[in-house]
Amino acid sequence: MNNIMNKLKGSPRRYGAFDDHAQEYVITTPHTPAPWINYLGNNGFYGLFSHTGGGYSFWQDAKLRRLTRYRYNNIPADSGGRYFYLKQGHTIWSPGYRPANTELDSFECRHGTGYSKINSRLGAIRSELLSFVPLDTRAEVHRLRLSNEGEQPQSMQLFSFVEWCLWNADEDASNFQRNLSVGEVTVDGSLLVHHSEYRERRDHYAFFSVNQAISGFDTDRDAFLGPQGTLACPDVVCRGQSRNSVADGWSPIASHQLDIELAPGESRDLIFVLGYIEVAAADKWADNPPSASRQSTSAAVPYLAPAHALAHRFADNDAVERHVNALKHYWQQQLQGFHVASPEPLLDRMVNIWNPYQNMVTFNLSRSASYFESGIGRGMGFRDSNQDLIGVVHLEPTRARQRILDLAATQKRDGSAYHQYQPLTKQGNSDIGGNFNDDPMWLVFAVSGYVRETGDLSILAAPVAFDDQPDGDAALFDHLSASFQHVLNKLGPHQLPLIGRADWNDCLNLNCFSDDPDQSFQITENRQGDVAESVMIAGQFVLFGREYQTLCEQTGRTQAAAAAADAIAGMVRAVETHGWDGDWFLRAYDALGRPVGSRSNQEGQIFIESQGFCVMADIGLHNGKARSALDAVADRLATAHGIVVQQPAYSRYYPEYGEISSYPPGYKENAGIFCHANPWIMIAETRLGRGTKAFDYYTRIAPAYREQNDQQLHRQEPYIYAQMIAGKDAKRHGEAKNSWLTGTASWNYYAVTQFILGIRPELDGLRIDPCIPASWAGFSVIRRFRDATYHIEISNPDGLEQGVRRICVDGQWREGNLIPVLSGEVQVKIIMQAL
Amino acid sequence: MNNIMNKLKGSPRRYGAFDDHAQEYVITTPHTPAPWINYLGNNGFYGLFSHTGGGYSFWQDAKLRRLTRYRYNNIPADSGGRYFYLKQGHTIWSPGYRPANTELDSFECRHGTGYSKINSRLGAIRSELLSFVPLDTRAEVHRLRLSNEGEQPQSMQLFSFVEWCLWNADEDASNFQRNLSVGEVTVDGSLLVHHSEYRERRDHYAFFSVNQAISGFDTDRDAFLGPQGTLACPDVVCRGQSRNSVADGWSPIASHQLDIELAPGESRDLIFVLGYIEVAAADKWADNPPSASRQSTSAAVPYLAPAHALAHRFADNDAVERHVNALKHYWQQQLQGFHVASPEPLLDRMVNIWNPYQNMVTFNLSRSASYFESGIGRGMGFRDSNQDLIGVVHLEPTRARQRILDLAATQKRDGSAYHQYQPLTKQGNSDIGGNFNDDPMWLVFAVSGYVRETGDLSILAAPVAFDDQPDGDAALFDHLSASFQHVLNKLGPHQLPLIGRADWNDCLNLNCFSDDPDQSFQITENRQGDVAESVMIAGQFVLFGREYQTLCEQTGRTQAAAAAADAIAGMVRAVETHGWDGDWFLRAYDALGRPVGSRSNQEGQIFIESQGFCVMADIGLHNGKARSALDAVADRLATAHGIVVQQPAYSRYYPEYGEISSYPPGYKENAGIFCHANPWIMIAETRLGRGTKAFDYYTRIAPAYREQNDQQLHRQEPYIYAQMIAGKDAKRHGEAKNSWLTGTASWNYYAVTQFILGIRPELDGLRIDPCIPASWAGFSVIRRFRDATYHIEISNPDGLEQGVRRICVDGQWREGNLIPVLSGEVQVKIIMQAL
């Protein structure tokens, strides 16, 4: 820590640094521009965890099963978390700085893969907090290690604090006339249990425990905080004595008191467990007669046995070490799936650690819960989750397979899909519905990616009923056909795909002519919808349609494959004929049939999406259109901080375009830098063989690169991607927003691994087709692929950007650039050559 | 102030006292058990205002047009408001105590009718803050008067602070991925304007101004608060210098800086205006070309003219005095509508000031926005608003008439009604829908009350289309018939009314057998609904049906009147036959046809609602059933803190009863004291002539009575009713919840004025039928009624509870107890006599 802090001295614009060896990001001050967070948990139990211990926990669904309360956009910011207070005489401090806010003698927070550590010191006391969700465990473990580094004995009181959420986070923040009357708790030794509504309709409860006898507790917020209470100085902490309060309505909390004496040199480990217990619905009454169910304190309550058992799994430090090591081992294994050593250590850092880590978080959470997503608005997105999957299929193929089947189950027979579904119920959200016409084809992308990675063609035969034909007899392949056909069934006047409510650009709402702020831009459709077309969907159809065609071929569906080829060719013609503006691809036709993203527009003349998708689909690759389009992107959309969505920004509201024109210029879809769409241009550049350019774009938004120079400007976490960076029309150009949960992660990973580094899984092997900066002398990749691990050495003696004519596999040279499917350790050597 | 504080010394359980002369409640400490609030505004522009200046403002609709941000159930509590900071050297304090929280040398908050005053002093500086919404004005005025009472000159910086809400309060608290990018402001001199989304779909903006040149401003929250900012010590305030920040996304605020010098004895008035401007949609672009619309600072921006004009209306203190006096005059006039002088000063205080005041607030806001209603959940309730109307029809007959027509417009042809509607749009909320089978008859109650008060039978012919027949030809009377018929069309196996989703007791959900916490108890119907019946609706049908019958008669609809009489007689028979349990009225039959509220039940044997409604409807009055039922209420349900809903409380969840059994015993519908239902028993007691008993019940829940002894136990505002007081099964028995917005207000007022004091408006005059404690020697009432003001003196020399055989009107004795409709000042004398 001291090393890193010393390095940072005199550079006030930095708040931390990477520790590549530990695979951690080290935040060296509590005073970051925003909460810099991490995610704990990987499969069901999740916690958001900021660098000062803020955040909250939930089981499966951030809306329906929120365990602890968190207040978004609060003053002070980032209020609420798993908090600790140490009281030594008149000094009160928090090991994580918040909430006591006492300045510390030293502080660092280390965010790692699925765990975080906050190390701090004040006076003689060193504190080390380790927080993680053990694998396959419905609990967070927080081990607080306190050490006396001084020469005098030290005595102190330690207070813990979490505030319970009354389960449904939306109701919890609005339905006070009910909520403030239902809170119930049980105290059983060191186990503080929140069981509001348990044994009514609920079969679950939560608990907060510590592995030692306590000297006091509180479960009533008012009693703990006092009448004027703030989290910075709760009344109980100030007086140094718990009130042993038992909550009865109002706001239940959990707070332990531990009185601690430390001899010089002594350390003490306190292991806190924040857990969630679900019993079989039929069993919830089994051990306790109804009339006693509301008893609030009890020496030994039978239904708490599972909670005691779960807490007991972490009764000692050996158990904690064992579990945290298992978690680290899991991640080591995961990250070995793709490992690069390139001339660019920052690239390596992204590809080897942080990008796949973020991919897994987006796969787990879709867009449901971050510091910008409140967890009550959106569940799992159809479009989102299909894309997220591309970034993790090589790490978690089994879970990816299940996710594909879950997503497909929300699709209807006509190919349309619920735009979102709740992770707890797996039911589509009917208040949003569907009719986002790009949605269906993303399923093709995900399935193709899964098959290419795993070779598991059997998934196509897996039975998945359509949402509107629950008893129907359908296989996954039928869903792909429905997706493909959905586009063809909805073609507009130019034979381009109708856009519906919106395509990937949610804010380009061409059928919503809204003059009422209470209308949702995205679900209001004032026009028939049979005119407005999307060139982006056209490109998407060609790109993913080819993957569909390949799947048809690979499963012997030759007739379907031929029909698909014809349809794709037709779409290419439509784009070349009606989707070309002269120097770049049009974006769309609006509901009146007028071009969008055209020189003929006053504003919004050129958009990123159609350039990206059409060139990724190789449209115009051989007639100069692709090159012209990408040159226009470079000329008109690229900035030092990434490529903006469109130009010129809309300076006023256009009812015919919708939400996109409602944002101030430079923000979000109105000419902000959407990091999600940038890799489309990177990939497109690789289709032209321009590796230097592709990589240049990569570095403009890649966190590790921005971390070096722009921490203060960027403001959000510099170890992961944000959805958006403010564009050049914005006053805050370069400032990031909406960090963590974004398709940016998987798309950048996909672009850099499969198109820049060029290691592409195919059904029959690994295609090796790097498209790199000419300056690179080479690079090496270790790639796990099915049953083999390929050690690939690529050298580039001639300073090329692209070119693999043959490869050497285990000492044997072969023509072409496909490494066959093998097993075991495989050595591959490649020398790039001009084609 | 000092007098009152002295009186309170040594009685720590009191936080304030009534000032009847000023018609104010005086809170003498900032440290009340909960925020004790007032409402500013009476017709469109509303503000919630706590005793320390917390709260928020909105235009018409607390969900859709929220002007300032407020965070419910926050830590610290009551965070957000129109805040002021004074910085004198190193001392920072707030005139309203919050948010600086510096202890003051003196403090009082006076809540009056539509205005509040916070008077405080620290050192030499006295501060008087007067806050109100002037009549017919879309703005709050906050006059801050600062006086130097010392002998030295005093210099200080004053900072104001409000935080803008991004209009839709629901979105504002959840949709951060959008909201944090859209904030826009304009600064024009002392006018700080929030215009996010203005000129897109919105035609409105808000502003915060002060009537003097400022020495600085801030509009960006981060700039004002600083990176670690709390409301208690914003960075700008601590450094004593604004940053002149211009918000660009994130969180726009408004803060002025004023540098103030006060000579000894000098006072300064600073007049802040928090206003809302709506322009015609067509005009929103008129004065400013689109491309310049997003300019954030400007010396003189044409579209701000209306804001300047509105602010300028309060440019000097004379204007403020004029407007606050007009507001006080309005309320004086209003409160003169009914004025009592009785042997009970606490009764007088309630009837003459606080109860009608609360009635007006509930009429204005229904259940939409209080410190327990977040403003995003419920709009105007159909059942609620019809009841609220009874409490204000004598004060605001014109607005009552409009409200009736608005409510009727949400009714469907079959008599059913949307349970709620949004006040801004007046559209029914389709996510809740209808099928609460008591809803329709409340319209009859409201209309009858309106006609009895005003004599305006013409309202019955007013055209009001049904919601599902928008082009249909219907008059209000058709709605009453539809309501009446709706009950008759939905009779169950015992010829009692089917309950539907629920009746008035929202939590008695007899057709919702729910085992899933994500189901709404109230809108989930798992059963057919053709079995479960409500005896309460039966009583309601008889009671209000007679009013319907009377309206038929008064409009010459003799056939309809006769049919109604038959139907009512049939319902009385059904209740007597199938709705009687032996000693009291049953509450209901459940979906399996089993009695609810019967001795045969293990828990929930007797309910308040059916006893109240059946006896109010005179069912069993002459055969002893009524008396038996009320004696059972006294025996089983009455407590020192009011009458509980039912007994014994449900100790477990009964799927067949729904939400009622999901509350812990003693809270809310599960045997809490619902103050709304208590007056039904009071009225019922008057039907038996038991005035002493009726009044006894009145005093148990009436705020002025509870204020005397139970402030600390009660915890909520002691000048207005709360919805619920914890029942005898609760640990916190006697503690109130859900203060302010409750039908409790109008029902208690109705009970005490029309049944205990016994002054009942009828079409042909005022019926005088007091039912009072035998101990009263008499009382007098001044009652405005149509074109007359009646000065009514009632003496009770024989210590009766009831009995008016003749009355003396302007010196002329007449038989009977009806004062005819007269005009001018009318003197009435009555001597109570045994009948």
Q: In sequence order, which residues have a C-beta less than 8 Å from that of residue B172 and are 6 or more positions away?
A: B66, B69, B165, B166, B179
Question: Contacts of residue B71 in chain A, CB cutoff 8 Å?
Answer: 71, 74-75
A758 and A644, same structural domain?
no
Number of CB atoms found within 10 A of residue A764's CB: 13
> What are the pLDDT digits (tens) for B35-66?
999 999 999 999 999 999 999 999 999 999 99
pLDDT of residue A287: 57
How many Å lie between the alpha carbon of A313 and the closest alpha carbon of chain B? 29
Chain A contact for B10 (CB, 8 A cutoff): no
Return the pLDDT at A425: 84
pLDDT band at B426 (very low <50, low <70, confident <90, very high): confident
Q: For B663, which of A182, A377, A425 is closest by C-beta distance?
A: A182
Does a structural domain hold residue A618? yes
Residues B82, B38 contacting (CB under 8 angstroms): no
Per-residue pLDDT at B377: 79
CATH, residue A800: 2.60.420.10
pLDDT of the residue at A296: 42
Smallest Cα–Cα separation from B234: which of A328, A498, B245?
B245
Chosen from A29, A83, A171, A178 to mutate, greatest number of chain B CBs within 10 A: A178
Inter-residue contact A459 to A389 (CB < 8 Å)? no
Residues of chain B contacting residue A235, judged by C-beta atoms under 8 Å apart: none
Cross-chain residue pair A290–B651, CB shorter than 8 Å:
yes
Instruction: Enumerate the residues of chain A whose CB falls inside 8 A of the CB of residue B426.
Output: none
Q: Where residue B298 falls among pLDDT bands split at 50, 70, 90? A: very low
A211 and A141 belong to one structural domain: yes
DSSP-derived 3-state class of residue A301: coil
Q: Which of B384, B388, B438, B506 is catalytic?
A: B506
Residue A130 domain boundaries = 2-323
Residues of A in Cβ contact (< 8 Å) with B249: 664, 667, 732, 737
- CA angle at residue B825 from B819 to B829, to 5 degrees? 45
Please give the residue of chain B at the shortest CA–CA distance from A521: B201
Average pLDDT over residues B420-435: 83
Nearest to A698 by CA among A643, A736, A637: A643
Size of interface A-B (CB pairs under 8 A): 198
**Low pLDDT (below 70) residues in chain A:** 1-12, 286-301
The pLDDT value given to residue A8: 44
Query: Mean of the pLDDT values across residues B450-463?
Result: 98
A313 and A355 housed in the same domain: no
Q: Say whether A652 and B248 touch across the interface (CB within 8 A).
A: no
Is the separation of the CB atoms in A798 and A489 below 8 Å?
Answer: no
Whether A572 and A642 map to the same domain: the answer is yes
Nearest chain B CA: its distance from A181 CA (Å)? 6
**A249, A344: one domain:** no
**DSSP letters of B712-767?**
HHH-S-TTS-EEEE--TTSTTTT-EEEESSSTHHHHHHHIIIIIIS-EEEETTEEE
Kindly report, residue by residue over B773-797, the tens digit of the pLDDT: 999 999 999 999 999 999 999 999 9
Task: Choose the mutation target among A51, A166, A176, A515 for the interface with B, i.e. most B CBs under 10 Å.
Answer: A176
Domain contains B607: no
Tell me, yes or no, whether A148 and A228 share the same domain. Answer: yes
pLDDT on residue A320: 98
Query: Which residues between 393 and 432 in chain B have a beta carbon less than 8 angstroms from any beta carbon of chain A?
Result: 424-425
Are A783 and A337 in contact by the 8 Å Cβ rule? The answer is yes
Under the banding of pLDDT at 50, 70 and 90, the label for residue B300 is low
Distance CA A79, CA A62 (A): 17
Cβ of B651 within 8 Å of Cβ of A293? The answer is: yes
Closest B-chain CA to A371: B176
Residue A620 and residue A589 share a domain: yes
> What ipTM goes with this model?
0.95
Q: A159 and A255: one domain?
A: yes
> Which tens digits make up the pLDDT trace of B683-717?
999 999 999 999 999 999 999 999 998 899 999 99
Dihedral Cα A233, A236, A238, A239, nearest 10 deg: 170
Residues of B in contact with A737 (CB under 8 A): 177, 180-181, 249
Q: SS3 of B528, please?
A: coil
Within 10 angstroms of residue A452's Cβ, the number of other Cβ atoms is 24
Cβ within 8 Å, pair B376-A174: yes
Which chain A residues are Cβ-neighbours of B293 within 8 angstroms? 651-652
The partner residues of B328 in beta bridges, in order of sequence, read none
Kindly report the average pLDDT of chain B as a whole number: 94
Residue whose C-alpha is closest to residue B803's, from B777, B765, B768, B751: B768
Residues of A catalogued as catalytic: 506
Instruction: Give residues 620 to 679 of B whose Cβ lies within 8 Å of A.
Output: 651-653, 661-665, 667-668, 672
Residue A654 maps to a domain: yes
The reply to whether A471 falls in a domain is no
CB contact under 8 A, A173 and B72: yes
Cβ–Cβ contact A251 with B under 8 A: yes
Res. B291 pLDDT band, cuts 50 70 90: very low
Across the interface, whether the CB atoms of A652 and B199 are under 8 A apart is answered yes
Last residue of a domain, which of A632, A656, A671?
A671
DSSP reduced 3-state for B119: strand
B686 dihedral zone (left: phi>0; alpha: psi -120 to 50; beta): alpha
CA-closest candidate to residue A452, choices A550, A527, A325, A305: A550
Task: Please tell me the distance in Å from B84's CA to the nearest CA on chain A.
Answer: 16
Q: Tell me if B303 sits within 8 A of B283, measured CB to CB.
A: no
Q: In this structure, is residue A564 part of a structural domain?
A: yes
Of A184, A373, A377, the CB nearest to B664: A184
CA distances from A94 to A39, A233, A273, A582, B521 (A): 21, 11, 18, 62, 42
A44, A59 Cβ separation under 8 angstroms: yes
Probe site for chain A from B69, B181, B372, B733 (most A CB atoms < 10 A): B181
Kindly give, in sequence order, each residue whose CB lies less than 8 Å from that of residue B275, ignoring residues fewer than 6 positions away: B138, B139, B140, B206, B207, B208, B209, B307, B310, B311
Do the Cβ atoms of A74 and B72 come within 8 Å?
no
| Residues 348 through 387 of chain A touching chain B, CB cutoff 8 Å | 371-374, 376-377
Asked if residue A763 belongs to a domain, the reply is: yes
B668 with A201: Cβ contact below 8 A? no
Same domain, A756 and A730: yes
Q: What tens digit of pLDDT does each residue of B61-95 get?
A: 999 999 999 999 999 999 999 999 999 999 999 99
Residue among A64, A65, A73, A197 with most chain B CBs within 10 A, to mutate: A73
Same domain, A147 and A285: yes
The CATH code of the domain that includes A602 is 1.50.10.10
Cα-based angle B599, B601, B604 (whole degrees, multiple of 5) = 90
Please compute Rg for chain B using Cα positions: 28
Is the residue at A167 inside a domain? Answer: yes
Same structural domain, A708 and A663: no
Task: Give me the pLDDT at residue A211, please.
Answer: 98
Number of domains in chain B: 1
For residue A419, the model assigns a pLDDT of 87
Q: How far is CA B52 from CA A49, A386, B35, B229, B233, in A?
A: 34, 51, 8, 20, 16
pLDDT tens digits along A356-384: 999 999 999 999 999 999 999 778 899 99
Residues A667 and A608 in one domain: yes
Length of chain B: 835
Confidence of residue B287 (pLDDT cuts 50, 70, 90): low
Q: Report the SS3 class of residue B549.
A: helix
Whether A688 is covered by a domain: the verdict is no
- Specify the CATH number for the domain of residue B125: 2.70.98.40
